[in-house]
Amino acid sequence: MSSARNISVALRRARLPRPRCFVQPIVSRAPSRIATRSFSLTSAVNATKEIKYTSNAYPNLKRDPKFAEITAEDVTFFKELLGSQSAVIDGVTTDAADDIEPFNSDWMRKYRGHTRLVLKPQNKEEVSQVLKYCNDKKLAVVPQGGNTGLVGGSVPVFDEIVINTSRMNKIRSFDEGSGVLVADAGVILEVADQYLAERNHLFPLDLGAKGSCHIGGNAATNAGGLRLLRYGSLHGNILGVEAVLADGTIVNSLSTLRKNNTGYDLKQLFIGAEGTIGVITGLSILCPPRPKAVNVAYFGVESYEQVRQAHQEAKSHLSEILSAFELMDGRSQKLVHESTGNKNPLDSEYPFYCVVETSGSNGEHDMAKLEGFLEHIMGEGIVADGVLAQDETQFQGIWRWREGITEALSHLGGTYKYDVSIPLPELYQLVDDCRERLTKLGFVGDDDSFPVRAVVGYGHMGDSNLHLNISVREYNKEVEKAIEPWVYEWIQKRNGSISAEHGLGLAKKEFIGYSQDETMVKLMKQLKDLYDPNGIMNPYKYI
């Protein structure tokens, strides 16, 4: 974050300079640090501690005896089917434990399975044959993309076969006239976005893990990310899905049309289903033109009430060019500093910080709107201090600072993560209430005798989406019990969602009742039974 120290334009009252705006598309945005597959820093810090098996951490979870055990014969079948050596990692007939480990455990080092077989099919036909075989033989499977999830959805619990999408990594077509991209599920989000950048378009989704996550996984988890407020949800942007059901049926709904009202919109069921009814193998998605001008500002704010005011003013002044409004509390920023040694872009400390981004087609117009916004919020004393990125380096610096929170926290030990939607008026109250609760119970403190280091909050304010993070020195069942189900009850009372964008996975399977009524859960189970009657798809999770 050293580059961010160069940000020198303090937006103090009556001293607002006219900053230079970017008029080039952001084609050169470097991947953020979280975005590498190896997550090397995390590994370096935690390598000494072995990840606990999920089956030990959740002793109530038992392997379902209805599932067959993988045999050498099965492995032979898959090797013949998939041909290439790189398509099968075989821990059944060989000792491949080290090669398999990255597919068994998540990058948060919270979940770890026992699989002995990883398959990497290359197209929908291969996926179809793999699934048909598994369905016939009652072999359980876990579809896996970039394995960047936060709820344990993409790793096995027991010996489920991992079906990894990394070898389905072709961009199939892009039409500049319509902006429609068709690509394999295993294309890395950042690769797709770079491809689009060269063609003056933008992938309508951006998130910290973009350097590793697969677009198929993004669809399967209905990822939200940083700019949903501007570009909308994947349910609106994904025009077509190609997927394979548990019995091998290929669902070809890969329309590239914006409008197609010919029957039930089945593809929607795969978006957010977390691989429990099928494996997504391809997508078509509507991509907007890349903005010609992008600006980003970072503010310090004295109270949550003022953050809300700033948010309202941003919506009003920036309107159609507002592309992100992010909130971070002071404690989260302090932890980032402690973890990385990087310094906050602002000199003074504040209880809250915001990142506001604009994306538009005319740099002068955008800057005029942004100046109007800045003058207003500074003039009215809504924000206390702020900086505006003056060049690409500073732009990257601010975004890396924001996007690096998740990884920075992970260096400090474990993190209990709650990704929730709450109506804006009470959004941040959850963090205060949780901190108060855990403090009263004697869990929170500065020295190593306390399990909890800090209770922090950050997230996508523009979408009413808060990430409540409880940073612990190590995972602790007593702390967990103090948080859950209390946190879910708190959210339920406010008609919020217990999972805004991270999904259910294993972490929230038991708690869906806090956000969905009995009828909804029953209807969901009915769908699961319809599409996966043997229950082989990502068992032990979701609903």
217 interacts with a copy of itself by CB under 8 A: no
Q: Pick out residues in 136-175 that bind a copy of itself (CB under 8 A).
A: 175
Taken as a whole, the chain contains a residue count of 543
Q: Which of residues 278 and 397 has its CB atom nearest to a copy of itself in the complex?
A: 278
Q: Which of residues 373 and 399 has its CB atom nearest to a copy of itself in the complex?
A: 373
Strand order in the sheet with 250-253: 171-175, 180-184, 278-286, 238-245, 250-253
257 interacts with a copy of itself by CB under 8 A: yes
In the numeric block, the tokens 């770890």 are attached to 112
Q: What is the distance between the alpha carbons of residues 205 and 83, in angstroms, rounded to a whole number?
A: 34
Q: Which of residues 270 and 443 has its CB atom nearest to a copy of itself in the complex?
A: 270
Answer for which of 27, 44, 72, 520 binds a copy of itself (CB under 8 A) is: 520
Answer for which of 226, 228, 294, 387 binds a copy of itself (CB under 8 A) is: 228
Q: Which of residues 48 and 261 has its CB atom nearest to a copy of itself in the complex?
A: 261
CA nearest to 401, candidates 326, 462, 318: 326
Q: Which of residues 276 and 471 has its CB atom nearest to a copy of itself in the complex?
A: 276
Q: Which residues pair with 458 in a beta bridge?
A: 328, 467
Residues 6+ apart with CB under 8 A from 484: 511
Print the binding letters for residues 100-129 with a copy of itself: x by CB under 8 A, - otherwise: ------------------------------
Q: Pick out residues in 427-456 that bind a copy of itself (CB under 8 A).
A: none
Q: What is the distance between the alpha carbons of residues 213 and 232, in angstroms, rounded to a whole number?
A: 19
Least CB distance to a copy of itself at residue 269 (A): 6
Least CB distance to a copy of itself at residue 92 (A): 33
Q: Pick out residues in 366-425 that bind a copy of itself (CB under 8 A).
A: 368-369, 421, 423-425
> Phi and psi dihedrals of 264, rounded to 5?
-55, 140
User: Interacting stretch for a copy of itself, rule CB under 8 A, among 104-112, 135-143, 388-396, 509-517?
Assistant: 509-517
315 interacts with a copy of itself by CB under 8 A: yes
User: Interacting stretch for a copy of itself, rule CB under 8 A, among 211-219, 246-254, 377-385, 402-410?
Assistant: 246-254
Least CB distance to a copy of itself at residue 60 (A): 21
Answer for which of 44, 97, 441, 523 binds a copy of itself (CB under 8 A) is: 523
Least CB distance to a copy of itself at residue 256 (A): 7
Tell me the DSSP string of 432-492.
HHHHHHHHHTT-B-SSTTSSEEEEEEEEEGGGTEEEEEEEESS--HHHHHHHTTHHHHHHH
Answer for which of 32, 333, 499, 538 binds a copy of itself (CB under 8 A) is: 499
Q: Is-cis flag, bond preceding 143, omega within 30? A: no
Q: Which residues pair with 419 in a beta bridge?
A: 467
Answer for which of 271, 470, 483, 537 binds a copy of itself (CB under 8 A) is: 271
Q: Pick out residues in 175-194 that bind a copy of itself (CB under 8 A).
A: 175, 177-178
Distances in whole angstroms, Cα of residue 351 to Cα of each of 301, 330, 388, 489: 7, 4, 19, 26
Q: What is the distance between the alpha carbons of residues 396 and 534, in angstroms, rounded to a whole number?
A: 47
Strand order in the sheet with 161-164: 88-90, 117-119, 161-164, 141-144
Q: Pick out residues in 343-362 that bind a copy of itself (CB under 8 A).
A: 360-362
